[in-house]
């Protein structure tokens, strides 16, 4: 499946109304998802030819994580900047975090970190959690946010915008980092 080319000219002209802005946002989400699906398909195709069991396992895990982008959407950095321009949003990129979930590619902004449907407000819980997880691999961070967490009893990305869970989410992130540091010290 070929990734559609990002049409930035029409995006800049399309955002004259709230409806058109929402349509542009959806177009950017679709464009970004197409890029992730294409990468996931490449990984799945390479799994069959991989003979090393550890490499094969890692590729399967990466493909599984990328497949979560259907539910936990991501937006390509270039596309996101056009959305912000269209919405007249400034300085949000200082708060929003981006993850390089596809090696050698533009990073993506995880949509779950935003409070609003128009992607203009970043969740304070998401920012604080990311600051805790920042030393981890980007794919591991996305995996942590989008996987069911047994300490919490839920997937962190589903509840980032619920203030009553902020402390619990931050504690679970601290636990994850301390546990991953303990494992890396054992090796």
pLDDT tens profile 5-33: 555 555 555 445 667 777 777 888 888 88
Angle at 125 between CA 124 and CA 126, to 5 degrees: 90
Q: Could you tell me the maximum CA-CA distance found in the chain, to the nearest angstrom?
A: 57
Domain that holds residue 167: 123-187
Pairwise CA distance, residues 74 & 31, whole Å: 10
At residue 154, the pLDDT reads 96
Kindly state whether residues 67 and 142 are assigned to the same domain. no
Kindly state whether residues 129 and 59 are assigned to the same domain. no
Kindly state whether residues 102 and 25 are assigned to the same domain. yes
Measured over the CA atoms of residue 58, residue 64, residue 30 and residue 48, the dihedral's sign is positive
At residue 131, the pLDDT reads 93
Last residue of a domain, one of 73, 90, 116: 116
Q: How many domains does the chain have?
A: 2
Nearest to 48 by CA among 37, 63, 35, 38: 63
Kindly state whether residues 79 and 171 are assigned to the same domain. no
* Least confidently predicted of 40-54, 96-110, 151-165: 96-110
pTM: 0.78
């Amino acid at each position: 499946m070929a990734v559609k080319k990002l049409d930035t000219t029409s995006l800049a002209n399309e955002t004259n109304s709230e409806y058109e802005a929402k349509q542009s946002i959806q177009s950017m989400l679709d464009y970004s998802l197409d890029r992730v699906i294409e990468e996931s398909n490449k990984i799945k195709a390479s799994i069959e030819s991989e003979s090393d069991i550890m490499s094969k396992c890692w590729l399967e895990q990466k493909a599984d994580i990328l497949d979560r982008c259907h539910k936990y959407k991501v937006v390509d950095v270039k596309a996101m900047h056009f959305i912000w321009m269209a919405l007249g949003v400034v300085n949000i990129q200082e708060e929003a975090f981006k993850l390089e979930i596809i090696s050698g590619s533009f990073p993506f902004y995880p949509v779950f970190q935003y409070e609003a449907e128009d992607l203009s407000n970043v969740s304070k819980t998401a920012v604080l959690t990311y600051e805790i997880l920042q030393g981890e691999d980007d794919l591991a961070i996305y995996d942590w946010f989008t996987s069911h967490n047994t300490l919490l009893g839920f997937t962190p990305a589903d509840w980032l915008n619920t203030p009553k869970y902020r402390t619990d989410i931050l504690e679970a992130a601290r636990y994850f980092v301390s546990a991953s540091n303990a494992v890396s010290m054992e090796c």
